[in-house]
Structure 1
Amino acid sequence: MLERIAGNRELKQDLKTALGSGRIAHSILLVGEPGCGAGFAARCLAADYLYPNGGPHAEAVLRGQDTESIVVRGEGASGQIKVEAIRDARQNIQKSALSSDAEGRVLFIYGAQNLNGASANAMLKIMEEPPEGVMFLLTASSAAAVLPTIRSRCAAYTMAPVPTEECAAALRTAQPELNEQNAQDLAFLYEGHIGLCLKALTDPAAKAARAAARELCRQAQQQDTYRVQALLAGYEKDKDSAAAVLWQATQAASAALRRPGFDGVQPDTAARILRAAEAACRAMKANGNLRLALTVCGMEMAAR
């Protein structure tokens, strides 16, 4: 299953060698920016660990449906992992029976940077005396963001974005109806982050945010202050959606700086969009007035 990971050849080879030698660490931390595929890579590794010969159960691991996989994720907007979730996972490991065809059991901790003091301490107790046959697979957006006590007990591997060509090929495989040019454009726009590309294609909220951002950039390019302001005014009561649109706008602007004219946006406009969107996002994170932040943002994006 590790071969299904796009790019990251050294990482795949290192993990395959460790598995083949029987010297794979019982605690592994896979680090990667959102969209790099750390979660998918964790499932691929788990499938090869649990079911070396592949088969339906290995495929179930990739879908997150295997009974030998225990999953812990954060809750709420903060994504914080609570101590109760770790305690429940520990009980599940201890009480559940191992199936006859699995080589062990896997505990996934998605977003290990969101372990707080209490949940990290509870996790440490399991990691320091791991049950036989259990592998801990943690993912994180940044190694530095993971508490040192957890990080020091893991073998860490870094996931990287893949080259545009490989990213486009992966998108065509996942979405056969996607034409080559659109696949190439998405791969370039999201800089080889396959997960972000797929989300833009399949997630309704992400699709809507991207469509709004494209229109925002188009009107900013035309310096149409009225339409830019009107579009942003639609998000004055929805902070999360506003942030999503502005993030997509920064992605589009960054692409236009790297490739002038990308999606119809020129570098001078792209620079304005980036400055305005980033300032608005900072104001929103500081709990500033959303309406004011979006108004100022719109004026600066369409400035003449």
Structure 2
Amino acid sequence: MIWESLRGHQEQVEMFRRSLARGRLSSAYLFSGSAGIGKKLFARMLAQSLFCKQFPETALDACGECSNCLQMQAGTYPDFFSIERKTGKKFLTIDLFIGTDESRGHDGLCYQIALKPMSGDRRVAMIDDVELMNAESANSLLKTLEEPPEGAIIILISSNPQALLPTILSRCQQVFFSPLASTDIVELLIKQEVVTDRQEAEQIAATCEGSLTAAAKWVDPALCQLRETLHQHLAQGNKMQNVTVAKELVTLLDEMSDGAQEQRQNGRRLIQFAVEFYHQSARASSGLSSSINSSASQRFLQSLTLPLSEKLETIAELADRATLSDQQLERSMPIPLCLEALCADLAR
């Protein structure tokens, strides 16, 4: 019943059902995949299914009405607890794992998970953004993973598992989560009232790479302005004033970003807008529906006086060039230099 509301990830549901049927539930799992695709929601649903009174554990389902389910939904179930980075902190600090100086060794995740269950037969803990542990936190967690309490389950959630210690990775069963389908993103955006217009939801879903978190950011007015500005410039094709455009885009990124990290994130979103523009222009050129500004797309296509096959090849090359810039920004290339080179190549 509970899984009917989940968008995507049905393969993972069946995997856990098979594990339960065989009596092979692991003591530690690492849920990995892009941010904003439902890993944390899945972990909570999994825990609720294990705790539900109305279904046997092997059924891996939850009624949503028993006292255990209601407590899980309210965040008060005594055998489930989660930790995440504190506001203003850069890392998952040591006190989250073994308590503060005053309660050291008598509080925190490593202490709580070892206690006897208060209501059911097991305890479940969830660690969000686990890659943000500092060295002390990682070592404390490792000790618990090496000697897991009987019946306990620890779920680690990460969008960057490569940042974890190999010794932690080796003690977890890894479960990979794929990005959400565009149709799922559209329905979730409308259901959560992020947008009310289906066409707008479809346009956002085409750019967010299966992440609901990323999709929600596309409605930000500053990002919308950035996207529209870029598309209008790209519509000029090889007549685009690349030096002027690059400077304008850098200025917009400076104005809308709070700090270097957010500026780089917005820079990568800018590049994604460019890739989106070319992908959707290729669709329009082939007679398929396009989710971007139709006038900008048509002006760009009109600037390409080439046979269809050569036109599509050119558009693909431009999209690949934009993708290269995304990789360069990911590797910490200076944003102004990256955009200057990109605009110069796109205007050729």
Same structural fold, with TM-score higher than 0.5 when normalized by the shorter chain: yes
Q: Percent identity?
A: 20
Choose 214-223 or 41-50, whichever is displaced more.
Answer: 214-223
Once the 2 structures are TM-superposed, how far is the Cα of residue 38 of structure 1 from its aligned partner?
A: 1.5
* Residue 140 (1) aligns with residue 141 (2): no
The amino acid of 2:84's aligned partner reads R
Q: Hey, what does 1:13 align to over in structure 2? A: 14
Aligned to 2:38: 37
| 1:24/1:96 CA distance change after superposition, 3 Å | closer
Paired residue for 2:222?
208
Q: Which residue number corresponds to residue 86 of structure 1?
A: 97
Mapped partners of 2:272, 2:211: distance in 1: 12
SS of 1:107's partner is strand
**Aligned with residue 125 of structure 1, among 139, 143, 146:** 143
Judged with a 3 Å threshold, the aligned counterparts in structure 2 of structure 1 residues 64 and 220 are, in CA distance, closer, same or farther, namely: farther
DSSP 3-state at the match of 2:124: strand
Letter of the aligned partner of 1:114 in structure 2?
Answer: L
Asked whether 1:159 is paired with 2:203, we answer no
Q: Distance in 2 between matches of 1:78 and 1:212?
A: 30
Deviation for aligned residue 1:111: 2.2
Q: For 2:49 and 2:225, locate their aligned partners in 1 and report how far apart those are by CA, in whole Å.
A: 39
Corresponding residue of 1:114 = 132
Matching residue's letter, 1:245: N
* SS of aligned partner of 1:34: coil
Match of 1:26 in 2: 27
Q: Which residue of 2 aligns with 1:244?
A: 265
The 8 Å contact of residues 229 and 299 in structure 1, kept in 2 or not, is answered as no
Checking the alignment, whether the CA contact within 8 Å between 2:122 and 2:152 is kept in structure 1 is: yes
Q: Report the CA distance between 1:30 and its aligned residue.
A: 0.9
Task: Give the structure-1-normalised TM-score.
Answer: 0.76
Letter in 1 for 2:205: A
Q: Given the superposition, is the C-alpha separation of residues 301 and 209 from structure 1 closer, same or farther in structure 2, using an over 3 Å criterion?
A: farther
Q: Is 1:150 aligned with 2:168?
A: yes
Q: Encode CA deviations 1:116-171: one digit per residue, 9 max, x unaligned.
A: 44322211222233334432011122444432221222222110123322332333
Quote the RMSD (CA, aligned, Å).
Answer: 3.7
- Which one has the largest radius of gyration? 2
Deviates more, 1:246-255 or 1:17-26: 17-26
The CA deviation at 1:176 is: 7.8
Structure 2 length as normaliser, TM-score?
0.68
Tell me the amino acid that sits aligned with residue 111 of structure 1: D
2:274 is matched with which residue: 233, 242, 253?
253
- Offset of 1:278 from its aligned partner? 5.0
Aligned 8 A contact 2:253 2:266 in 1:
no
Using the TM superposition, give the Cα deviation of residue 27 of structure 1 relative to its aligned residue in structure 2, in angstroms: 1.2
Query: 1:72 corresponds to which residue?
Result: 83
Structure 2: segments with no counterpart, 5+ residues: 53-61, 100-107, 285-291, 301-314
Distance in 2 of aligned mates of 1:82 and 1:39: 20
**Whole-Å separation in 2 of the counterparts to 1:227 and 1:219:** 7
* Contact in 1 for aligned 2:231/2:277 (Cα 8 Å): no
Say whether the 8 Å CA contact 1:210–1:245 is kept in structure 2: no
Runs of 5+ unmatched residues, structure 1: none
CA change 1:64–1:293 in 2 (3 A) is: farther
Sort the Cα spacing of 1:112 and 1:31 in 2 relative to 1 into closer, same or farther, 3 A: same
Distance 2:82 2:121 in 1: 18
1:300 aligned partner: 344
Q: CA 1:90 to 1:134, structure 2 compared with 1: closer, same or farther past 3 Å?
A: same
Q: Per the alignment, do residues 138 and 62 of structure 1 end up closer, same or farther by CA in structure 2, a change over 3 Å counting?
A: farther
Q: Which amino acid aligns with 1:252?
A: F
d(CA) in 2 for partners of 1:154, 1:295: 40
Q: Say if 1:221 and 1:302, in contact at 8 Å, map to a contact too.
A: no
Using a 3 Å threshold, how does the CA distance of structure 1 residues 236 and 194 change in structure 2: closer, same or farther?
closer
Give the secondary-structure state (helix, strand or coil) at the position aligned to 2:218: helix
Partner Cα separation in structure 2 for residue 64 and residue 256 of structure 1: 42
What is the DSSP-based 3-state SS (H/G/I as helix, E as strand, rest coil) of the residue aligned with 1:189? coil
Counterpart of 1:219 (choices 217, 233, 251) is: 233
Determine if contact 1:35/1:193 at 8 Å carries over to the other structure. yes
8 Å contact from structure 2 (residues 195, 201) kept in 1: no
